[in-house]
Amino acid sequence: MIEEKNKKVAAYVVEDESTAQYRYRVKNVQEALEAYGKEWKVMVYRKSELINLVLGEIDLLVILRQTSKDDLVPGYVMEARDMGIPVAMDLDDLIFSYADLPGLMRATGSRNVLYWTGYVWGIRRIATKVNGFIATNEFLGEKLTKCFSQPHTVIRNSLNQKQVKVAEKCLPKKPHKGFMVGYFSGSPTHAKDFQMVEDELIRFLTSHEDATLVVVGYMKFSEKMQKLLMVGKVEQRDLVDWEKLQKMMSEVDVNIAPLVINDFTNSKSELKYFEAGVVETVTIASPTYSFARAIKDGGNGYLANSGEWYEKLEHIYEQRKENEKVAERARKDALDNYFGKAIAEEVEKAYNELLKVEEPAEKEE
């Protein structure tokens, strides 16, 4: 069943192939290994297809973020362990700790305690049984290790070939009138993040007649921002698929990624930086764990704490030529470090580390 027997096999168990988690955490990884992998390849199994998974023919079992209300996935985890096959769970959010439930609910804007308690319980049914974890950054990985006393590795989110091809079609950028600020994270869960910079955005927009703001997705605006919406200084657009989003990112002068800094946002990846970077759009971001490590302030982007957003926007507005150089460096960084060979090497290193983990003593819930 498995070809290329000289390569080790990482088998991923997924619930839904239509999610962003699947694209970033599985599909992009699989693609990078197909193009540049030397030791490993990825096989993907839907939860409903687990009967077709022959554990004796794989070297590593990876459970992509999912909850478990039945014994199917935990059963396969235990069977793999009994056969000496390392099992890892891939998680991209702080969604596994009861202690972090209040922060999770604040971050999502939800008050449904029963839902999130059940969700975390379902994650933990699998997480307490695995040998190790794959996280999107070291901050989240350390949280996982502290919570479950098992080792972790890091595989960052990345670009795929189609994204890079779409980006190439967007370049070189077409000149446009005015100065456009783009916010591409419109959703109820990001309302507080947007509110944090709203006053500084309004100050910037009202200081420059040709400055406008594009918000993609849902956002509940303040009365002040609604007034700017009414006069065309702010434009709100519906959510779009990732290909169209890439094009939208290429059309603005600066991408903003404000986040209220806490454990939840420190666990997030820097994807808004490198997805804008690959289309040569500069990002201003809050200095969360991932953004602060990806962005060199003034080099390949900008970092801004609360109270610094107006100043950074003014700088980019006034220094257009300098901004072009920053954008070029952001694109180079995106292609050099978040795509292709670099990701394949990172993935293979992570998989090899997981082969070394010791068998865990199962925790009781």
Q: What is the CATH number of the domain that holds 44?
A: 3.40.50.2300
Say whether both 174 and 70 belong to one domain.
no
pLDDT of residue 107: 78
Say whether both 249 and 195 belong to one domain.
yes
Structural domain includes residue 222: yes
More confident residue, 189 or 2: 189
Model confidence over 115-149: pLDDT tens digits?
999 999 999 999 999 999 999 999 999 999 999 99
Say whether both 330 and 187 belong to one domain.
yes
Cα–Cα distance measured from residue 134 to residue 29, given in angstroms and rounded to the nearest whole number: 12
Say whether both 99 and 175 belong to one domain.
no
Say whether both 232 and 292 belong to one domain.
yes
- Express as a percent the part of the chain with pLDDT over 70: 96
Say whether both 306 and 206 belong to one domain.
yes
Structural domain includes residue 2: no
pLDDT of residue 3: 56
Q: Domain holding 191: CATH number? A: 3.40.50.2000
User: Which amino acid type is present at position 270?
Assistant: E
pLDDT of residue 305: 97
What is the domain range of residue 73?
Answer: 8-156+341-354
pLDDT of residue 227: 96
Contact present, 181 and 212 (Cβ < 8 Å):
yes
Residue 361 has pLDDT above 80, yes or no: no
Mean of the per-residue pLDDT values of the chain? 93
Say whether both 243 and 151 belong to one domain.
no
Structural domain includes residue 40: yes
The reported pTM is 0.94
Say whether both 219 and 268 belong to one domain.
yes
Residue 335 has pLDDT above 50, yes or no: yes
pLDDT of residue 364: 46
Say whether both 223 and 270 belong to one domain.
yes
Number of domains observed in the structure of the chain: 2
Cα–Cα distance measured from residue 116 to residue 106, given in angstroms and rounded to the nearest whole number: 11
Model confidence over 58-101: pLDDT tens digits?
999 999 999 987 888 999 999 999 999 999 999 999 999 999 99
Residue 310 has pLDDT above 50, yes or no: yes
Phi-psi region of 66 (alpha: psi -120 to 50; beta: other; left: phi over 0): beta
Structural domain includes residue 364: no
pLDDT band (50, 70, 90) for residue 357: confident
Say whether both 99 and 70 belong to one domain.
yes
Distances (CA, A) of 313 to 78, 143, 180, 322: 53, 34, 11, 13
The two tokens of residue 347 are 């993935």
Model confidence over 161-170: pLDDT tens digits?
999 999 999 9
